[in-house]
């Protein structure tokens, strides 16, 4: 599996821009809060470690991953100066096909919001078969998807600023 070879928090081989000049929104789903809280901590600490100012990070929660699209939309509509929005969630397969509909909806939804506002909206959503896979990717043996989402947000914000110059 590709995941076996890659740690979501390993950025030793990449150059991460200074985030001090950028403003970020973070939208976090409350479902599977043990996991999403860990994703949030990973994302927040990664932003700050790379220079983002706490006063430039605006964080909000939504009930579930399905609402991440609405959360991103509301953030960018009401805070147009945000340079990027990070969406964090954890969808774990249950007995029915509900998992598929949520995952498809949020993946397509956040992409559409990014295009609508021409702003980076980062898909930091775990979509796992079980709880253990989620734990492993929220600060466990495979790193933290929140780290990955934060670094992606910084890189995309920097790219946008460069192209707008």
What is the number of H-type helices and E-type strands within the chain? 6, 6
Is residue 105 exposed (0-12), middle (13-18) or buried (19+ Cβ within 10 Å)?
middle
Nearer to ligand LW54GNZ2, 63 or 104 (CB): 63
Q: Does 135 bind ligand LW54GNZ2 (CB under 6 A)?
A: no
Which residue's beta carbon is nearest to the bound ligand LTPLIIQW? Answer: 94
**Does 91 sit near ligand LTPLIIQW (CB under 6 A)?**
yes
Using CB under 6 A, which of 48, 92, 103, 107 touches ligand LW54GNZ2?
A: 92
Is residue 31 a contact point for ligand LW54GNZ2 (CB under 6 A)?
Answer: yes
DSSP for 114-147, written as a single string: HHHHTS-EEEEEEEESSHHHHHHTEEETTEEHHH
Applying CB under 6 A, the residues found at the interface with ligand LTPLIIQW are: 91-92, 94-96, 98-99, 102
């Amino acid at each position: 599996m590709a995941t076996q070879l890659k740690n979501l928090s390993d950025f030793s081989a990449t150059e991460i821009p200074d985030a001090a000049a950028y403003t970020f929104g973070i939208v976090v789903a409350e479902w599977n809060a043990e996991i999403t809280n860990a994703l949030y901590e990973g994302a927040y600490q990664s932003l700050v470690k790379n220079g983002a100012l706490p006063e430039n990070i605006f964080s909000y929660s939504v009930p579930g991953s399905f609402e991440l699209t609405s959360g991103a939309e509301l953030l960018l509509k009401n805070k147009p100066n945000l340079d990027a929005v990070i969406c964090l969630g954890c969808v774990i397969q249950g007995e029915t096909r509900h998992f598929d509909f949520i995952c498809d909806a949020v993946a397509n939804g956040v992409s559409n919001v990014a295009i609508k506002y021409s702003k980076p909206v980062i898909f930091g959503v775990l979509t796992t078969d079980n709880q253990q896979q989620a734990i492993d990717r929220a600060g466990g043996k495979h790193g933290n998807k929140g780290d990955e989402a934060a670094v992606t947000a910084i890189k995309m914000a920097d790219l946008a600023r460069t192209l707008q110059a």
